[in-house]
Structures are given as C-alpha cells and as structure tokens.
Chains A and B, each alone.
Chain A
C-alpha cells in the first residue's frame, strides 16, 4: 500500500480528507503512483503533470524520505520506505511569494 500526501488545494479538488492510500501494481515509481492516483481521482489529471507530455508541472515538487525526488526520472524506483508504505510520497506545491 502506497501512501500519498497531496497539497491542500488538490485534496479539496478531489474531495480527499487526508492521506491517500493506493494499490500500485508492479514497480513503484513516480509514474506508476501518479497513474494509480489519477485513475482513482480523474479530476487530478493535468494538475500534477501535463496530460500530454506527462512532465511534472513546473511548480510541483515530489519529496519522500527527506529527499527531493522531483528531478528523478519518472520510471526510477521510489525508495523502499515508500514502496512498503512506511513513508508517504509527498506531492508539494513549490514555495512562492515574496
């Protein structure tokens, strides 16, 4: 079971109260987790990654296990702690302001 934490605006959009738990078949990667997330919550399509290019949106970051995984290849395996559900995958809206 994969745990995913979404930013508040996307939780509101999808009507999600807290963490999302997902069953992900095969290798646990950013792509497979996002595929499973978007399959369950179709309204999130396009909000985290582009619907055509599948590229991460510029101001969205992906963290886990105190690491920034944003620039990792989408098919790279996620840390074991994420794959086992010990740690959540954090989808984060990048800091902005001034």
Chain B
C-alpha cells in the first residue's frame, strides 16, 4: 500500500512524519538538527529518498543538509551562497540603498527530473541553483536586474520564498519575493519579467499597481494546468489564467483575505485552500477559530473547513510554506502551525486531526506520496 512522508521544518529542528495510505497512524522521527531553524526541507520528485534541508542559526549561519535515505540520515553539503558579481543595492526600510547580503535559505525546490539539481530561494532575495547535489551553488543573477534596486524587505525580511517549476516546460519558472512580487522566466533563468499586473496594494505601496513591490505571500499551481496560478497576497487572494500576465481577485466571501499559504487539491485543479488570518498586525485566525477555507470553483466561493480544528481560543498562525497536499485519493491536506501542531485531513479537508501537537513553531510542511 502506498504511503506518505510529511517533512516538517520548525524553529528548533526538522521532523519526518510517515504513515500508510490510510493516514490514520503516524510515526514521528526527529528532531533532526535539534536547536537549529529549519526553514524548509523537501524531497526530490525524481528520487523520493533524496531530501534537502535548509538549516540555519543566528550564531552559526547557513548549512544545507542532504539525505539519501528518506530523511533517516543526513550529510552536510555546500553552504556557500555568493551573489554573482558586484551585488549592488536594494532599498532598506528607511528608503536608503543597502548592499545585498546573504542571510538564509528560505525555500529549496528540487528539480522535477534530476535529483542533483535544486533551486534555492534566499534572503536577501535571489535565486541560486545547484546541479551537483548541493555541493556548489550558483546564482541566476539576471532576476535581480528587474528593478532589484527598488525591492524592499517586508517585516519578515526580503526573501525569495516560492519557486514553481512548470512540469510541461522545463525552461519556465515562476518565483515570488516578499516584498517585490512575482517574476517569471521562459528561458531557464537567463531573463526574467515581472508578473504583477492586476495586483493592487493600496495600503502597502504609494503606487497601488506598481510593476514591482507587491508583498506576495505565496503562489501555487496544479501540475496539470501550469498556466493557472493562485496567489495569497498580503491582502487579497488572486488568480491568473494566462500564466502570470494578469491577475484577478478571487477573495469572494472569505472572512478576511489576509493570510500566508495557498495550495491546490492534487486531483481537482479548481479546488484551492487558504487559511484566513485576521490582519497584517494580528497574525491569528479571526474569532479565535482555526478555519481552512476551500473553494471548489477556483476562488470567489469559499467554505469553511472546521471539523477537528480548534474553534475557540486559537491564536496561532500558519506560515507561507506550512501547507501541503498529498496525491492519494482522497487528497490529503496538511497544515503546520506556529503553535507546533501539524493537522492532517485525509478527506480533502472535510475532517482534520492532529498528527503532532507540541512541536516547536512550524515553519514549513512538505508531503511526498510514496509508492
């Protein structure tokens, strides 16, 4: 019987949760790298036992770990992230120019076809790639040519947090940066274009529909329909049907359209999930109720999913990389919270149960569906 592996990054280490296809009983393995921040770990679609993890610490900096046995054992690989050439400057919070400075890896996106090729999204925002299993990392520098001097950090830092590889076109990549926006390439990273037309940030930017500067929190796609992207922006849930050329708001009847993660059902390209959060200054669910919202219509019409989720006195957050789906039938949905819970639904969100309740604050959740 097939199974699932849920890789969880937390403020104080990584955990690997495994179950069979029923997803009722779970084995919890960890902490790995105890005491270190694990912003993200993710398995290779081309080799399920190959995992990469971003391990970092305010004291000791950035480490990249690689596993060849599904997360049981790990080895450190290359951790040198050097911006290409003279890195130049971006905007600082006070509007002054500030030199680019590497801080950490937020997101690792393994290639869809080659287990040794991985993309890394970093803070200060840039995209790196390895083609040798993580030993050496090289920047794809032309991304920062797209008005990079105007990019400015959000409160969480100027991070490149989302990397989406088009399964139908190996040269097409979408990335998202907080707070710069969405950018896309059709030539494997040689040239990039901003893809923010239709975004409106009237409370965040002096020019609400600026070409760059939007605080995009997360974007998602269904692999069968890579021209349709969904976005959770700082405020607003958005959708594009033309591969990022233009965006339309689909927040509809959500109780609030602020939030961080967004994801797509594995088998229904128009079924999407978000976790509404009260506001940008109150990072917890409205009314003290943790509700995942599901739209079966690609946006506009949303239903609250509450069964098994805390519906009183709940004041945690779900961060941008802390939602994932598995590819079983019915589709499984997973969310990790800053309160240390990982909730799982084995029925596409209808009912939920915690896999674990007391981990450190969860930074990321990824799922592999195993043969």
Contact = CB atoms under 8 A, between A and B. Distances in A.
Interface of A: 7, 9-10, 13, 43, 45-48, 51-52, 57, 59-60, 93-94, 96
A93 B60 contact: yes
5 contacts: A10-B60, A46-B79, A52-B80, A52-B82, A57-B59
A43 B60 contact: no
A46 B63 CA distance: 8
Contacts of A93: 59-60
B141 to A, nearest CB: 16
Given A43-B63, A57-B61, A59-B58, A9 B36 contact: yes
A46 B76 contact: no
A79 B116 CA distance: 45
Nearest to A52: B82
Contacts of A52: 80, 82
Contacts of B82: 51-52
A71 B57 CA distance: 22
B57 A46 contact: no
A45 B62 CA distance: 10
Contacts of A47: 60-61, 63
Q: Is the interface of A mostly helix, strand, loop or mixed?
A: loop
A94 B59 contact: yes
B339 interface: no
Contacts of A57: 59-61
Contacts, number: 41
Nearest to B80: A51
A47 B36 CA distance: 12
A57 to B, nearest CB: 6
B79 A9 contact: no
Contacts of A7: 59-60
A66 to B, nearest CB: 22
Contacts of A9: 35-36, 57, 59-60
A45 B60 contact: no
Interface in B60-84: 60-63, 76, 79-80, 82
A7 B59 CA distance: 10
A92 to B, nearest CB: 10
Contacts of B76: 13, 43
B87 to A, nearest CB: 11
Given A9-B35, A9-B36, A52-B82, A46 B59 contact: no
